[in-house]
Amino acid sequence: MDTPAISTTNLTRRFGDFVAVDSINLRVTPGQFFGFLGPNGAGKSTTIKMLTGLLAPSAGRMEILGLDLASHSLEVKQHIGVVPEGMALFGRLTGPEYLNFAGRMYGLNRETAAKRTTELLEFMQLDREPGKLITDYSHGMQKKLALAAAVIHGPKILFLDEPFEGVDAIASGTLKAMLQRMILRGATIFLTSHVLEIVERLCSHLAIIHQGKLVAQGSLEELRSGVQAMPADQHLAGAQPEKLTLEEIFLRIVGGARSEDQELSWLT
């Protein structure tokens, strides 16, 4: 049996009395494009922060590539790339300076870091304005740069927190091309996103977290089968079970019914 790329056992995070992540058991096998979904405040970002070392868990165990994250954090970090919620960019560096910096922080020698920086800037179409400070980049450019920095050392696992948020179609296409290329080469990608269409198109496996608890996990087909077994409600009435989109599956699982009775009469 393969060592899972990512596995968690009863992973829990509390903020005072509030349980943000409640005993979740995740299992991501190597080579999977794994989508981690959930409504706002469900615990997605908290989970990804714990998995990448940005946040300490209150309880539970995390293993990345078979290594315990708590006791082997440096070894684990050498093999992962992360685009966290804030993108971890140093605004007063230029793009090339930041990528060079990131490469060397991941242990690349000067020449390799410089060479990969040039290649990544070209691939991401960020090579037109090498003197521009990151703080002056557009949001899409910053996302591309953050992704470039996360992959400069050729990580085995890539953690992406909302990589497509605020990104235009052109930048989004570039990001997707890079991610698919990585999957083809055997990397594992763990992604959170609210853009369910993209997740549906890219991800082979999914997990859904709701109110801190893991409520579903498996391939899209497995989730679809699970939903078919549930009693139909009015929102999905008429939909053919075998053609349920990820959005429909998601709404069915998390119960995202919206009241249309209320009307904001003052809103023009």
Partner 1 sequence: MADVAPTGVPLALPDAGMQLRTIALLRWQIFKNSLRTMRGRLEAVSWIFVGFWFVALGLGGAFGIAVGSWWMVSHNRSDLLAALFWPIFIFWICFPLVATAFTEVFDSSNLLRYPLRYSSFFLVNLIYGSLDGGTVVGLLWLIGAVLGISIAQPSSTPWAVLALAIFGAANIFLVRALFSWIERWLAQRKTREIMGIIFFLIIIGFQFIGPLTQRAHRQHFQLPAYISQAILIQKFLPPGLVAGALGGSVRADWLSAAGSLLLLSAYAGVFCLLFHIRLRGLYAGESFSESVSREKVSMEKAETQSGWALPGLSGQLAAIMEKEARYLSRSGPMLFALIMPIVVLLLFHMGGNPNRPNAVAHNPNLAFPIGAAYCLLLLTNLIYNNFGADGMGVQFFFVAPVKMRSVIIAKNLIHGGVLALEMCLVFAATYFMYGSPAPAVVSATFVGVLFAIPLDFAVGNLLSLYSPKKYDYGAFGRQRAPGLTVLASFGVQAVTIGIAIVVVLVARHYGSLWLATIVFAALALAAWALYQAVLGRIDGIALSKRESLIATIAKTG
Of 104 and 213, CB closest to partner 1: 104
Q: Supply the DSSP string of 129-165, one letter for each residue.
A: -TT-BGGGS-HHHHHHHHHHHHHTT--SEEEEESTTT
CB 217 within 8 A of CB 6: no
CB 19 within 8 A of CB 10: no
Give, to the nearest 10 degrees, the angle between helix 220-228 and helix 246-254: 50
End-to-end CA distance of the chain: 59
Q: Supply the DSSP string of 160-220, one letter for each residue.
A: EESTTTT--HHHHHHHHHHHHHHHHTT-EEEEE-S-HHHHHHH-SEEEEEETTEEEEEEEH
Q: How far is the CB of 223 from partner 1 (least distance, A)?
A: 30
Q: How far is the CB of 69 from partner 1 (least distance, A)?
A: 12
Give the one residue of 89, 191, 246, 249 binding partner 1; rule: CB under 8 A. 89
Binders of partner 1: how many residues, by CB under 8 A? 53
Give the one residue of 25, 29, 90, 180 binding partner 1; rule: CB under 8 A. 90
CB 199 within 8 A of CB 160: no
- Residue 264 interacts with partner 1 (CB under 8 A)? no
Site string for partner 1, 183-222 (x = CB under 8 A): ----------------------------------------
Q: Which residue type does 83 have?
A: V
* Window 118 to 157, contacts with partner 1 (CB under 8 A): 118, 121-122, 127-133, 135-136, 149
Q: How far is the CB of 2 from partner 1 (least distance, A)?
A: 24
Rounded CA gap, 224 and 229, in Å? Answer: 9
Give the one residue of 115, 139, 181, 201 binding partner 1; rule: CB under 8 A. 115
Give the one residue of 97, 176, 218, 245 binding partner 1; rule: CB under 8 A. 97
Rounded CA gap, 105 and 124, in Å? Answer: 21
Burial of 67 (0-12, 13-18, 19+ CB in 10 A): middle
CA angle 65, 70, 75 (to 5 degrees): 50
Give the one residue of 17, 71, 86, 186 binding partner 1; rule: CB under 8 A. 86
- Residue 258 interacts with partner 1 (CB under 8 A)? no
DSSP 8-state symbol, 94? B
Give the one residue of 5, 69, 82, 202 binding partner 1; rule: CB under 8 A. 82
Q: How far is the CB of 92 from partner 1 (least distance, A)?
A: 5
Q: Under the rule (CB under 8 A), what is the footprint of partner 1?
A: 52-56, 74-75, 77-78, 80, 82, 84, 86-93, 96-97, 99-102, 104-111, 113-115, 117-118, 121-122, 127-133, 135-136, 149, 266, 268
